[in-house]
Amino acid sequence: MKKIIIVSALVLLWTAGANAQTAYDAAKLVSKDLNGTARFVGMGGAMGALGGDISTMGTNPAGIGIYRSNDVMTSFSFSTYGTESKYGGKTFDNNNNRWSYDNIGIVFASKIGNHTPLRYVNFGFNYHRAKSFYKNMFMEGALNYSQIDYMTGQANGMLANGVSLKELSDNKLNPYSDNGVGWLGALGWDGLLFDFKNGEYIGVLPQTPYSTFRSREKGGIDQYDFNIAFNISDRVYLGLTIGAYDVDYTKSYYYSEDYGDKQNYNIGSMNRISGSGFDFKMGAIIRPFEDSPFRIGLAVHTPTFYRLTYTTSAYLESNIWMHNNDTGKDELLNSYFDTYKELNNKDMNREFRLKTPWKYNVSLGYTVGQNLAIGAEYEYEDYSSVKFRYPEGDKMEFETNAAKMVMKGVNTFRIGAEYKVIPQFAFRLGYNYSSSIFKNGAIKYLPYNSVNTDTDFANSKSLSNYTLGIGYRGTMIYADLAYKFSSYKEDFYPFYNEFNDRGIVTPNVTKITNTRSQVLFTLGMRF
């Protein structure tokens, strides 16, 4: 029922601009990984109230105010990404290994005085990989439904808005440069996958194909933080961080349907989102009791304001039996259409603006002597409040409302601890939990004139991070090692189809388990 309500609402918004970005793209850009120094990761990132680590300038900027000496460090990591897909009683595994340069930062601690209200003014810079998109996915099996229904639905949507693929074809006009044309429908028409009868587009193939899907995602979001923080009477710490972001996300997509008797088609696309953004982070750490090590941390992150470009190209190849009226025989016709060639060897570029949600963080910290430190955090971010805009500043109503309908607020909990066996050696443990991004029944819905052709979508469930680490502290040099295991599940669909007499038609779900094992090493010096 929830899925029907969502689709009904999205249908009412169909009169949208010719765009490609979706709420699912926004979700990838809003969410961030647990990454940073090995100490920060080893404690599960729960250092917002404890401070004293370079990575805290990205969560609670006031954490840099804890510093009383200079600090410089760098981090490297090795990750194994795993994706397990289950469909139709079959299991498909895809793994991906990758080295990465994750982190480099520096803090300058400037002492003002021992007895003045303002004790320290500290400055910091930190680069880290905020998000990694690396993921390979594969599934195959017999479907009871066809993606062609999605194509005909889009073609009929164009027809309802005054755009006829048949007339464009009869007049030898290029549909791929027409803002009123959806590429998925246009490729299906050119590939002879459906016909025009009795005033509507209808598929020419049966509804029981054997389907194959695979995709490859790569890239990431690089974050650059510039921080200033203040120590006031060793009781109140304030901080401000200006963040700059560089986005580079690429997805290659392939989907095919085989009907037997040599009839089949396959469609593929290459999509990229690139651009930059900025935000502001403000934070405070308070020691409410003078003789107690108990600390309270508060932080607010403004939305990240992104200027982005969506780049795409797509192709479709088909083999369809067609009757030749001249010979009276059926012939197997091969068709191949590539939007890159149809647009004179150019990709399609769509610029847009994205404003992410506000983020609110509350944290607690406590130390026991010089041996034990405990941190806990809660963070909230309402994903449904993301906003899309055109480069000129006008609202993108369809995309913004679609995000509101399929996404929801996300709650994140972090907890971590550090125990020093001796002053030089420490052990660390941490855990994170983030609730699901998507509402029940969420779908990916493409407007009738979208240039997007990858119809697949995955509704992610809750995310868990388990961490542990060890650390060494010398007189000046320090070294930390951490291990992080991340896991979350998804419900994957290669496409969804629109209403028919049975309601919403969607293929059976593919159950996915995504994991990431990451080993991080940090080497630094305090002086």
Q: Mean pLDDT over residues 465-475, rounded?
A: 96
Q: In terms of pTM, does the model score above 0.75?
A: yes
Q: Which domains, from first to last, does the chain contain?
A: 2-526 (2.40.160.60)
DSSP per-residue codes, 187-246:
HHHHTT-EEEETTEEEE-S-S--EEEEEEEEEEEEEEEEEEEEEEETTTEEEEEEEEEEE
Check whether 17 has a pLDDT greater than 60.
no
Instruction: Give the SS3 label for residue 473.
Output: strand
What pLDDT digit, counting tens, does each position of 248-271 carry? 999 999 999 999 989 999 999 999
What pLDDT digit, counting tens, does each position of 156-213 carry? 989 988 888 888 888 888 888 888 899 999 999 999 999 888 888 988 887 788 999 9
What pLDDT digit, counting tens, does each position of 265-283 carry? 999 999 999 999 999 999 9
Q: Are 240 and 228 in contact (CB under 8 A)?
A: yes
Q: Which residue has the higher pLDDT, 22 or 138?
A: 138
- Confidence (pLDDT) at 322: 82
Check whether 502 has a pLDDT greater than 50.
no
Check whether 354 has a pLDDT greater than 70.
yes
- Confidence (pLDDT) at 505: 55
Check whether 472 has a pLDDT greater than 80.
yes
- Confidence (pLDDT) at 506: 64
- Confidence (pLDDT) at 15: 47
Q: Which residue has the higher pLDDT, 480 or 203?
A: 480
- Confidence (pLDDT) at 232: 95
- Confidence (pLDDT) at 441: 85
Amino acid at 101: Y
- Confidence (pLDDT) at 1: 47
- Confidence (pLDDT) at 383: 95
**Burial readout 66-97 (b: 16 or more C-beta within 10 A, e: otherwise):** bbeeebbbbbbbebebbbbbebeeeebebebe
The whole-angstrom separation of Cα 474 and Cα 476 is 5
Half-sphere exposure of residue 251, counting CA atoms within 13 Å on the CB side?
22
Q: Are 475 and 455 in contact (CB under 8 A)?
A: no
Check whether 4 has a pLDDT greater than 60.
no
pLDDT-derived band at 498 (thresholds 50, 70, 90) equals: low
Choice among 291-300, 391-400, 503-512 with the minimum mean pLDDT: 503-512
Q: Mean pLDDT over residues 490-514, rounded?
A: 75
Q: Which residue has the higher pLDDT, 291 or 505?
A: 291
What letter would DSSP give residue 68? S
With pLDDT > 70 as the criterion, what percentage of the chain qualifies?
Answer: 94
If you count DSSP H runs as helices and E runs as strands, how many of each does the chain have, helices first? 8, 23
Choice among 41-55, 103-117, 327-341 with the minimum mean pLDDT: 327-341
What pLDDT digit, counting tens, does each position of 373-387 carry? 999 999 999 999 999
- Confidence (pLDDT) at 371: 92
pLDDT-derived band at 9 (thresholds 50, 70, 90) equals: very low
